[in-house]
Amino acid sequence: MSDTIQKYKDYVMTGFVKQVVPVVVDHARGAVVTDVNGREYVDCFAGISVVNAGHNNPQVIAAAKAQMDKLVHCGSYIYYAQPVADLAERLATIAPHGLTKTFFGNGGAEAIEGALKLARLYTGKHEFISLHASFHGRSWGALSVTGNQGRKKRGGPYASGVAFAPAPYVYRSQWHNDAEECGRQCANAIDDVIRFATSGDVAAFIAEPVMGEGGILVPPHNYFKEVKKVLDRHGILFIADEVQSGFGRTGRMFAIEHYEVVPDILVTAKGIADGFPLSAFTTRPEIAAAFKPGDHLSTFGGNPVSCAAALANIEFMEKEKLPERAAETGTYAMGKLRELQRQHPLIGDVRGLGLMIGVELVRDKDLTPANTEAEAIRDGLLDEGVLVGVGGVYGNVVRFQPPLVITQQQIDRAIEAFASVLHEVDHALVV
């Protein structure tokens, strides 16, 4: 056993994951990860959907190094730091219209907590509505608005004042042949949730524009427009959790742009700085003004190195048209995966936007989740030199979320490997 794996066993807490994938990563570039033995893997998971501009993107690294030589940390809310100012200005130009003021934190959950707090301060209301199958992070407030027992178990009871509405999970809904109807029905259900499951004191509705951990669930095109009508009738804010779907991943800079709806608060992390820890929430000035002295802060939030990396990351994305590239590569990959679906009944659904792609595996026509098969495919792909994720509320969705710089050849290689592993798993099922 390698020294690193032994030290993990002895000194690192890992009891909360079934296993750490047995790869000791040494270095990575673009969409290729190399382990300590020199073995290369095509990375279709991007560090859980983080390194959108590619591993160790030279421009991002150069910007971070230059900043490191000048200043690493001095407290970005105690003193002024130029990369923080420059990044906030940049975000104001790429965020949906009117969202111009940003708070910086370190990780997704921290940004969600801040957004929830700000929504309450601005509205003077206290409750939240979230979705079944949602995931918003591991801190207590974020888990309180998370709609997935798999993530919440052993941590309850959670905060009161949170009500859940059905997720627009088209494939498993009674409207699986009519996505638009699914969108309309799920949006209208929010009205009932407000009426029957809250006291009417709702500050905000929180949702992921494409649901990641829930199984790459893409809401129908009319869903958020219909939701917005309901929210506006009740004076409820919309918090878009773009922690996973943001920064080019879905083929637009932010996934909510596909739905032509402007949220009140946009929460981002993961892809914001190509691997450097940083998160943000961005909102309209009048909402931001609800913060008064003492209400909020973060010691490491807005780290100058992370902010400098984020600026270079956004510049790279725009110069290389990464969102457009993700849209094209994603369409290509989904086309190939749908060809495989026609040959393998194990593939129940192929869905996604851009390079946020989920392949849901089922055992039969009743859609019994094929979760052990999904894990077997992930392990088989590892042997073939391809990294993917497995997720979904039933643990049966293979997740393809590679760096957006992945080439067509690398996609071909990953999908060929997927086809061959799928064949083996299918065969083992029949035998």
Ligand X SMILES: Cc1ncc(COP(=O)(O)O)c(C=O)c1O
Instruction: Please identify, among the stretches 55-63, 130-138, 348-356, 406-414, the one whose residues bind ligand X according to the rule CB under 6 A.
Output: 130-138
Cβ proximity to ligand X, 136 vs 228, nearer residue = 136
287 binds ligand X (CB under 6 A): no
CB 283 within 8 A of CB 58: no
Q: Which of residues 322-351 bind ligand X (CB under 6 A)?
A: none
Our finding on whether 305 is near ligand X (CB under 6 A) is: no
CB of 62 to ligand X, least distance (A): 25
Separation of alpha carbons 364 and 374, rounded Å: 14
Q: Is 107 in the site for ligand X (CB under 6 A)?
A: yes
> Rounded to the nearest 5°, which phi and psi values hold at 33?
-110, 135
User: Is residue 99 involved in binding ligand X (CB under 6 A)?
Assistant: no
Given 113, 213, 226, 274, the residue binding ligand X (CB under 6 A): 213
Sheet holding 127-131, edge to edge: 101-105, 279-283, 265-268, 237-241, 202-207, 127-131, 162-165
Residue 397's H or E segment, with its range, is strand 397-400
Q: Which is nearer to ligand X, 170 or 243 (CB)?
A: 243
Give the interface segment with ligand X, choosing from 101-109, 116-124, 315-323, 414-422 (CB under 6 A). 101-109
- Min dist. Cβ of residue 400 to ligand X (A): 15
Cα(80)–Cα(205) distance, integer angstroms: 33
Q: Based on CB atoms, which residue is closest to ligand X, 269 or 334?
A: 269
Judged by CB under 6 A, which of 55, 101, 120, 136 binds ligand X? 136
Residue 84 in contact with ligand X, rule: CB under 6 A: no
Dist. CA 241–CA 246, nearest whole Å: 9
Using rule CB under 6 A, residue 43 touches ligand X: no
Residue nearest to ligand X (CB): 108
Number of residues that bind ligand X (CB under 6 A): 14
Q: Binding residue for ligand X (CB under 6 A) from 127, 208, 226, 349?
A: 208
Across 250-295, the runs of DSSP E, i.e. the strands, are 265-268, 279-283
**Contacting range for ligand X; rule: CB under 6 A; set: 11-19, 29-37, 105-113, 227-235:** 105-113
135 touches ligand X (CB under 6 A):
yes
Please state the φ and ψ torsions of residue 108, each to the nearest 5 degrees: -60, -50
Torsions phi, psi for 239 (to 5 deg)? -100, 115
244 binds ligand X (CB under 6 A): yes
The reply to whether 144 sits near ligand X by the rule CB under 6 A is no
Residue 127 phi, psi dihedral angles, 5° rounding? -95, 165
* Among 47, 54, 96, 137, interactor with ligand X by CB under 6 A: 137
Nearer to ligand X, 57 or 268 (CB): 268
Strand order in the sheet with 32-35: 25-29, 32-35, 40-43, 386-387
Cβ atoms of 36 and 4 within 8 Å: the answer is: yes
Residue 278 is a binding residue for ligand X (CB under 6 A): no
Q: Binding residue for ligand X (CB under 6 A) from 114, 209, 212, 358? A: 212
**Nearest residue (CB) to ligand X, 360 versus 373:** 360
Residue written as token pair 């209301």 = 125
Q: How far apart are CA 276 and CA 226, in angstroms?
A: 36
Q: Is 211 exposed, middle or buried (0-12, 13-18, 19+ CB in 10 A)?
A: buried
268 makes contact with ligand X (CB under 6 A): no
269 near ligand X, judged by CB under 6 A: yes
Q: 178's torsion region: left (phi>0), alpha (psi -120 to 50) or beta?
A: beta
Chain residues that interact with ligand X, rule: CB under 6 A: 107-109, 112, 135-137, 208, 212-213, 241, 243-244, 269
